Structure 1
Amino acid sequence: MQLGRWIHTSAMLVGLSFLLGGCASVSPTSNGLDQWLADPALQGATVSLVVRDARSGNTLYQHNPRTRLMPASNLKLLTTAAAMDLLGPQYRFSTQLLSNGIRQGDRLTGNLYLRGLGDPTIQFADYQALAAQLASQGVRQVQGDLVFDDTWFDAERLGVDWSHDDETTYYGAQISALTVSPNSDFDAGSVLVTAKAPVRVGVPVSVEVFPPTDYLQLSNRAVSGPGNTYGINRRHGTNLLQLSGAVAPGRQSQQLVSVWEPTQLVANLFEQALKQQGITVLGRRVMGATSPAGVTVQAEHQSAPLQELITPLLKLSNNNMSEALLKAMGRKTANSGTAAAGVVAVAGFLKRQGVDTATLKQVDGSGLSRQNLVSAQTLTDLLLAASKQPWFNAWYNALPIAGNTDRMTGGSLRYRLRGTPAQNNLHAKTGSMGGVSSLSGYITGAHGRRLVFSMISNNYVVAGAQVKALENRVAVALSRWDD
């Protein structure tokens, strides 16, 4: 989410600790946790921290355990665990090329439908492959319309109460059942904009957009020069990208920017792909119509299975993938590809695991909304329940692992807790928004005792790095747990 994929370094904190009221330990020793929760950086903030034995579920330490707070990307723990249970580890997203027409030589008489079933991992090359599959069947002309069917999900492109400040960012990209990702991180609904600065100062930068498309328009006022002032703004309701500022001479800057209406971008790209294969469509482009009964599959692309997709999702805290899973769960359980139906599906999973859903509020899949409210108690309930599931190992390994510098192993924790007992020990989900930080997961103590824990901090006014440093110190204290 907003800061969920940024790298948080552990800033060293200076100052004496003052004991805060309301910290209750049910263990003979707090193992130093009282000290870190009493740090001045958290003065005036609200913190919920729960530590439990992973085998028995017994509470070892608690501080405001049932206080509901904004969890940021820790909400993805709920979404992905429910998805592994409801959709299954082998679940695959699908994108289909369909027709209600009849083949007559190299002509297809009837409409051609590109039907998206929510795949946030599909890329331009995959759409090109779908067009190539059609061409390999000898089709050169479609005597009908080209219909882009994104009706598997609803038309609500953004989550509930998402901030307008996030609208142009990759982590706030619009959600569609028919979308495209510009990279292997699967940042669906975005394009990659590369600005290259000439060596000569004052000369305009050159700009490349990937996937290559004329769906976006550029207003380029960026130049080669000092100051590192380059930036991109997408005007609301449009795909006009306004580039301004300076890029250092001879250097380049790459930035992901969300698009307005990703289904339209897919239409632009797929029409390109058909032309590349020498396939002509005589009819119209039709947007958002439902594929009729009786159509036949001409070509199909499937994603990797969910048990593999949760690795980039959790390691890199991918919002769009989380929202696609939420709506996919709604579609499966209630035949409704909406976030609201997905939330009901997640609640059903939690209830079956004995988690009290009356004590939490979920409105999206990623945690980007500030209306989400969860307590550390609830998150530890989930962590304990997940550990008993047949899919647990895949889900556990998909969590970021502290201090492991491999990007798809350490994820958002890869630069944190190096050289401590928590390195390659802590498996946990991070979360960050303005004034919000969270860390929840699994860690092994000094004598081999497996712990689950959750720490959520809200309403602090210090730099986020200071709170991340406190989370690190809590993790180290847990890695040294000695009772």
Structure 2
Amino acid sequence: MRRPAHRPRTPRPHRADPPHRRRAHRPHRPHRARRLGAAALVAGLLATLSWSSPVGADPAAPPGLPEAIDAILADPRLDGATAGVVVADADSGAVRYAHRPEERLLPASNAKLTTSAAALELLGPDHRFRTEVLAHGSRRGAVLAGDLYLRGTGDPTLLAADYRALAARVARAGITRVTGHLVADDTRFDRARIGRGWAADDESAYYAAPISALTVAPDTDYDAGSVVVHTTPGAREGDRPRVRTVPHSRYPRVVNRASTVPAGQPRTLAVERAHGGDTLTVSGAIPLDGQPGKEWVSVREPTVHAATVFAEALAAEGVRVDGATRAGRPTPADAEPVATHRSMPLSRLLRPFLKLSNNTHAEVLTKAIGYERAGSGSWGAGLAAIVGYLRAEGLETARLRQVDGSGLSRMNALTAGQLARLLTAVRDAPWYPLWQAALPVACDPDRLTGGTLRSRMCDTPAARNARAKTGSLTGASALTGYVTDRAGRELAYSVVLNHHLAPSVKDIEDAIVVTLAAWDDRGTSRAPRGAPAADRARDQSGALECAWRKPLTC
């Protein structure tokens, strides 16, 4: 990988911060030879450039790259659909192919490209989230005559084990009794829990979990704000199935209405959280010989969930809290720190975030950007800063709309040209190697390397070559990233397909990338029109990002 040279950075004014928190902002530098200016980009996108065979070449030689990609886009599954495709030289930014490059389309999870790049620039790769326990009141030996505060700043990687470690530090600090309350301070972020335009029928889905500054995740995928519900058959027919939640706590409440049925009967077990409720209901049937099952479900109040997990950890450590557990109050300025947990740096968080297309991470980072740049942990402030960053990188932000950080909203609108522009613009950023390495890798079987591309483009020139961010919602599919062609040139590409009715169009995206990987100036090496049949069979549902279908199906 080409390591970019360090860039001079000049500060731009922003809200007054302590000196240690001020970050310089890198302005757009249109004079750099390898970048296209905004006007030049538009002009380039309006022309379809081809890599022609040399003058005098055999007229029977393979067609040019535009003809090859046009043939792929002629797939009948795209009849009536809209496709935006741009291919550019990754170093110079010169556009090699463009099809409807300025068409505003639903990017799905390709919106995470703008969010992650802005987070690295505006927060920095070393950014960490802090979770603190603070005491407010007077100490009388082992008794705190006052309240104990749990203050979060958005860490989406906190596990139950981390809360147990915090509770153990409270005990080691000599506190065994709190006469007041346990207060969960999630005020770093605003009270808006659900993103603008999120589908109502996704409310209980873990990938649409409510956003809070204080959460707990069930596992090392770090799906903060959700629980995993484990179910196994009862001991006998007619028994209730055994149900266990991870992380386990009194919140959320679980109601088990399911039954164990004779061996061989169909499994109809379902776990649901009703609209606006905080009770998980297990219903249906599980056969006596049925395999254990797991369901990922969001919780209604992630702050309450985290505080409950911490309260139970305190009790297990012998720390008694006389009062109630309360949420949503700010920590007094004169509260004294008792224990602190620091998250992994953003440079490490990028991997589960982008490889597994984690929506919660995107939204937490958006609000964290808003707090750091404008003092407001809100979507509005965070998105304004992201758009400002994109504008500094030369994107024409008046022609895009981003309303959340993850791409879950169907109100987002980006173009393939803008996405390709971002890919070429960031290559001289000092954090670029981290960002590029965090993109999923085609056909790499390791879950945290291949990610959402781990079963795609196998047995092709793109295997372990193409890196890209995937995106899927019903009727919308996208793939944006990098690939090296047969001549050794690195290409940046963006393929955004909207309004299709097919179950999946992933193999059309793959065919374009495989064509690029197989290309040199003499044409393709007979690249397949689509992904291998085995790959196609693994992803016949394009309704959701494959990593969102648990257990992971891609």
TM-score (norm 2): 0.81
State the distance in 1 between where 2:513 and 2:233 align. Answer: 43
SS of match in other structure, 2:470 = strand
SS of match in other structure, 1:100 = strand
Q: 1:56 aligns with which of 68, 77, 92?
A: 92
Aligned to 1:6: none
The higher relative CO (CA closer than 8 Å, separation ≥ 6) is in 1
Q: What residue ranges of structure 1 are gaps of 5+ in the alignment?
A: 1-21
State the distance in 2 between where 1:410 and 1:423 align. Answer: 10
Cα displacement (A) at 1:479: 0.4
Aligned alpha-carbon RMSD (Å): 1.5
Tell me if the contact between 1:71 and 1:438 (Cα under 8 Å) persists in the aligned partners: yes
Q: What amino acid is aligned across from residue 65 of structure 2 in structure 1?
A: S
Q: What amino acid is aligned across from residue 34 of structure 1 in structure 2?
A: D
Cα displacement (A) at 1:204: 2.7
Q: What amino acid is aligned across from residue 434 of structure 2 in structure 1?
A: A
Q: Where in structure 2 are the equivalents of 1:242-281 lying within 5 Å? A: 242-248=281-287, 249-281=289-321
Q: Deviations over 1:372-396 (max 9, x none)?
A: 0000000011111121110011111
Q: Deviations over 1:356-409 (max 9, x none)?
A: 111110000000000000000000111111211100111111100000000000
State the distance in 1 between where 2:327 and 2:313 align. Answer: 17
Aligned to 1:427: 467
SS of match in other structure, 1:320 = helix
State the distance in 1 between where 2:75 and 2:269 align. Answer: 37
Q: Deviations over 1:141-194 (max 9, x none)?
A: 113222111000001110001001111111010100011100100000000101
Tell me if the contact between 1:145 and 1:286 (Cα under 8 Å) persists in the aligned partners: yes
Are 1:30 and 2:65 matched, yes or no?
Answer: yes
Are 1:413 and 2:431 matched, yes or no?
Answer: no
Are 1:372 and 2:412 matched, yes or no?
Answer: yes
Are 1:326 and 2:366 matched, yes or no?
Answer: yes
State the distance in 1 between where 2:192 and 2:283 align. Answer: 31
Cα displacement (A) at 1:241: 1.6
Q: What amino acid is aligned across from residue 165 of structure 1 in structure 2?
A: D
What number of residue pairs does the alignment pair up? 460
Are 1:166 and 2:222 matched, yes or no?
Answer: no
Aligned to 2:542: none
SS of match in other structure, 2:91 = coil
Q: 1:134 to 1:454 in 2, by over 3 A?
A: same
Q: What amino acid is aligned across from residue 351 of structure 1 in structure 2?
A: R
Aligned to 1:152: 188
State the distance in 1 between where 2:463 and 2:260 align. Answer: 42
Q: What amino acid is aligned across from residue 213 of structure 2 in structure 1?
A: A
Q: What amino acid is aligned across from residue 386 of structure 2 in structure 1?
A: V
Q: Where in structure 2 are the equivalents of 1:283-362 lying within 5 Å? A: 283-362=323-402
Tell me if the contact between 1:198 and 1:250 (Cα under 8 Å) persists in the aligned partners: no
Q: 1:481 to 1:23 in 2, by over 3 A?
A: farther
State the distance in 1 between where 2:313 and 2:328 align. Answer: 20
* Consecutive aligned runs of 4 or more in structure 1 exceeding 3 Å deviation: 198-203
Q: What amino acid is aligned across from residue 459 of structure 1 in structure 2?
A: H
Q: What amino acid is aligned across from residue 382 of structure 1 in structure 2?
A: L
Aligned to 2:36: none
Cα displacement (A) at 1:315: 0.3
Q: Deviations over 1:240-278 (max 9, x none)?
A: 222222334241110110011111111211110111111
State the distance in 1 between where 2:205 and 2:145 align. Answer: 41
Tell me if the contact between 2:46 and 2:101 (Cα under 8 Å) persists in the aligned partners: no
Q: What residue ranges of structure 2 are gaps of 5+ in the alignment?
A: 1-44, 53-63, 522-554
Aligned to 1:121: 157
Aligned to 1:4: none
Larger Rg: 2
Cα displacement (A) at 1:414: 0.2
